[in-house]
Structure 1
Amino acid sequence: MSETPKKPWNELVQWSQEHGLLAKRLYVVTSTPANGLSPVLDNLEPHVAYQTELEVAGVMFAAGPLASPDLQEWLGEGLFVYRAASMEEATAFAENDPMHSSGARRFSVREWMLNEGSFSVQLFYSGGRPKIV
């Protein structure tokens, strides 16, 4: 019987760096209702205010709600990606979110390594934002 191979995380990080991948370590928070949707709705405004503070501070990489599997409703779930120095710091950011500190949602944090993808910015010097037609 063969043993299932294992790959230490730090070895994968090193491999990614050696192979010219970005190897940017970020922290993904999955956030799910603890007691139904009502407590989530009650904490939505302070939660968004907190998330916006993290965004302005440069901590928030991305955040937003998750649709139900059938795409018909929002069940109160969310996903956030933090820039943090460590798992402990990312966990502290999540603990301080009013959604979590109030008990409306529970959360888990996992380190994520951003390796591939692209990002571009379009800047308009005059006339503001173009009209979408």
Structure 2
Amino acid sequence: MQEETTPQALPVDDVMAASKEMLQKQLYVIFTTPVDGIGPVLACLEEHLAFQVALETDGILFAAGPMWTDDEQSWEGDGMVVVRAASRAEAIEIAERDPMHIKGARSFRVRPWMINEGTMTIRLDHSSQTYRIL
């Protein structure tokens, strides 16, 4: 009798077939990490944020922000950027244009990420002309 084993990985097509009724929105996550401490990161921060806003204006940036330490008490310079791109290669090109990476303050890694589940709720109050992301 042969023992069944659990596969270590599944082909993308299998995952897509199993979740065919879900959103299946392909995005790319850029994990960005300081190379030599937080000092060089802080030196590039203003240019980096301007770059991020430009990506947002161009409809490329889905979400971005700092990643706290696991105890949620401090920031060591790590960040995560989620972009809309046609491919991982294109997402890498976007990451390479970030002033943080151009100046060597951070290194990065790009991972494909498919959104299947979740919600985003925005409350818009007409009378006060205010909004909240819930």
TM beyond 0.5: yes
Partner of 1:12: 15
Q: Which runs of 4+ in 1 moved over 4 A?
A: 1-4
Deviation at 1:125, TM superposition (A): 3.0
Aligned equivalents of 2:70 and 2:108: distance in 1? 19
Deviation at 1:4, TM superposition (A): 4.7
- Gaps of at least 5 residues in structure 2 are none
Question: In the alignment, is residue 88 of structure 1 matched against residue 89 of structure 2?
Answer: yes
Partner of 1:52: 53
Partner of 2:31: 30
**Paired letter, 1:23:** Q
Deviation at 1:121, TM superposition (A): 2.5
Deviation at 1:9, TM superposition (A): 1.8
Aligned equivalents of 2:89 and 2:32: distance in 1? 17
Aligned length: 128
Moved more, 116-125 or 79-88: 116-125
Deviation at 1:128, TM superposition (A): 2.4
Question: In the alignment, is residue 62 of structure 1 matched against residue 60 of structure 2?
Answer: no
- Gaps of at least 5 residues in structure 1 are none
Q: Helix, strand or coil for the counterpart of 2:13?
A: helix
Partner of 2:98: 97
Deviations 1:81-109 (A, max 9, x none): 10111111100110100011110000000
Deviation at 1:68, TM superposition (A): 0.9
Deviation at 1:123, TM superposition (A): 2.5
Normalising by the residue count of structure 2, what TM-score does the alignment of the two structures yield? 0.88
Instruction: From the superposition, tell whether residues 120 and 72 of structure 1 become closer, same or farther in structure 2 (CA, over 3 Å).
Output: closer
Aligned equivalents of 2:39 and 2:125: distance in 1? 42
Q: Helix, strand or coil for the counterpart of 2:124?
A: coil
